[in-house]
Chains A and B, each alone.
Chain A
């Protein structure tokens, strides 16, 4: 519900160019044609209007119309005045002398024809392009069901920035469920001797991927914010204080995420909020364990950076097992 609200909301915030185009089309095709609508549209009435009421309404409408038309009247009347007569005291509503010459001058003094041609070209081109491509696209979006349609639609309205490292961060999302599944497999292998480790990975993936994905998304979002913040305070006096603080917060979050993964494996029945809270509390209350997990993960990250193949293939399982057993130990008491 909330996502649909946001996407619809952002779709109503187009660029100024879009609005200009939309206004052109709006002006040409208003929802109800006001002039033509008078006779044909269904008009509501509560019985007959009394003659007095009718007169009153006509008087009101006439006064309103007059007020609304004052600027137009002024425009027409000024266009027929001498320059010095436009601002005269008292106001000259009707020119003393009709200067039709003004309408001749606009064609000779300025390239009026070129201006008109430009305006005409713009409005015709914009209208044709907009109606043609817009109706096609609307048909495609509403009547066709195809792969990538919803993604495309979201791209149309959400327009999210994609930079390089945030993109990598997004790509790392599957890591969360993978870690959680690993923890699940370790847990089951310890609980029951005959459990097939690989099969348990699959089961764990199925059972925990939602929660794990949510937790890992949180970590990614936090990483994003922290990196942006560090870039922002870099070089300012605050960096001394804020930089380490932000890094510590981020590291804590990473360890807490692993704590939650271990918790998901140990007590799959628990509610998500309880899991999250438990992971956080364990991380903060067992600083020694957290630190150990952190050191292990950091060492692993360093090895992966130096020797990606060796780090990922040979050491990944071991490091993960160590981190998990560490977290599970914290879980046990």
Chain B
């Protein structure tokens, strides 16, 4: 090989150059948009995070001052806690609900298509409409949910979006309702890729339905669960629109989340530097969670 290399070099190098040209031209259209809308703003945010920049004065390098300020900012800690609260509720409930739905809908039934579509319906509905309707359902006095709770004997039903203790559970319920159909579809795909032979062999060995579920279904779904877990985690940490429409972060700051704080500081208050610093922290948090999940998954696979 090494001996035959020199005469071929000129031809192969021109081929390499042509290849590069063709390859770049394939990627260029997408890359222009990606660079303008994602790459450059993201890089800029990393730099702006170390600047003091508002609409009154030119940007000024302040080093870690934004981060120091964040440490002292009560709103930041509240938003961080609320984001964690939301994630802690949203992630497990969504996974459980979508897995349950997928198991229920993974069989031969008449009208299966209808039921599957029904479960997927919330996901394709406009999120703003969903939030507004749920807000009405959660109305503490006249909403159907509290009237139903009173009907079944709950004397003092929760105030939902008007109470600082119940606003977050209300948001979590809405988000689980919305998201479970989407992740159910992912789980259905996972369930249908499990070979039928496993179950037949287990049945021959005398395993009951419960044992089959724990020893075949759950382990075989691990890649799907892993993917769903990552997607749900990222979505939870970045939740924004649902909260803005449903509660606006209130009452008080009881449902203020990090994305909303970034929006408020950056767009409303024009503190671009501080806002970028918070988004950098959020980025690192999401990154750490994702990397940790990847590591755990790798260790399990070994």
Chain A positions near chain B (C-beta within 8 angstroms): 1, 5-6, 8-10, 12-19, 26-27, 30-32, 34-39, 41-46, 49, 54, 57-58, 60-61, 64-65, 68-72, 74-75, 78, 86-91, 93, 129, 132-134, 136-137, 139-141, 144-149, 152, 155-156, 159-163, 228-229, 231-234
Contacts and interface: CB of A to CB of B under 8 A. Distances in A.
B29 A133 contact: yes
Interface stretch (B16-24, B75-83, B157-165): B16-24
Contacts of B47: 161, 163
Interface string B273-292: 00000000001001100110
B147 interface: yes
A34 B119 contact: yes
B61 to A, nearest CB: 7
Interface residues on B, range: 35 or more
A159 B43 contact: yes
Contact of B294 (A9, A32, A42, A61): A9
A61 B144 contact: no
A218 B119 CA distance: 53
Contacts of A71: 122, 130, 133-134, 137, 177
Interface in B193-214: 194, 196, 199, 203, 209, 212
Given A61-B104, A65-B119, A231-B61, A140 B26 contact: yes
Given A136-B30, A137-B30, A232-B64, A12 B136 contact: no
Given A30-B182, A74-B144, A139-B26, A38 B113 contact: yes
24 contacts: A6-B287, A6-B291, A9-B291, A9-B294, A13-B283, A15-B37, A32-B185, A36-B113, A45-B108, A46-B203, A65-B118, A70-B144, A72-B121, A74-B144, A91-B144, A91-B147, A136-B29, A144-B23, A144-B26, A145-B19, A159-B43, A163-B47, A231-B63, A232-B65
B23 A146 contact: yes
A65 B188 CA distance: 17
Given A34-B185, A141-B27, A148-B20, A87 B143 contact: yes
Contact of A136 (B27, B141, B231): B27
Nearest to A13: B286
Contacts of B188: 32, 34, 37, 41
A14 B259 CA distance: 14
Contacts, number: 223
B31 A87 contact: no
A38 B112 contact: yes
Contacts of B41: 15
A230 to B, nearest CB: 9
Interface in B19-67: 19-27, 29-31, 33-34, 37-39, 41-43, 46-47, 61, 63-65
Nearest to B292: A9
Dominant SS among interface residues on chain A = helix
B113 A146 contact: no
B234 interface: yes
Given A27-B123, A144-B22, A234-B63, A15 B29 contact: no
Nearest to B117: A35
B101 A64 contact: yes
Q: Which of B27, B42, B137, B240 has the largest number of chain A CB atoms within 10 A?
A: B27
A215 to B, nearest CB: 26
Nearest to A11: B290
A220 to B, nearest CB: 18
B1 interface: no
Interface string B65-94: 100100000000000000000000000000
A139 B27 CA distance: 8
B295 interface: yes
B27 A140 contact: yes
Contacts of B143: 87, 91
A57 B33 contact: no
B11 interface: no
A39 B113 contact: yes
Contacts of A61: 104-105, 109, 115
B154 interface: no
A35 B113 contact: yes
Contacts of A139: 26
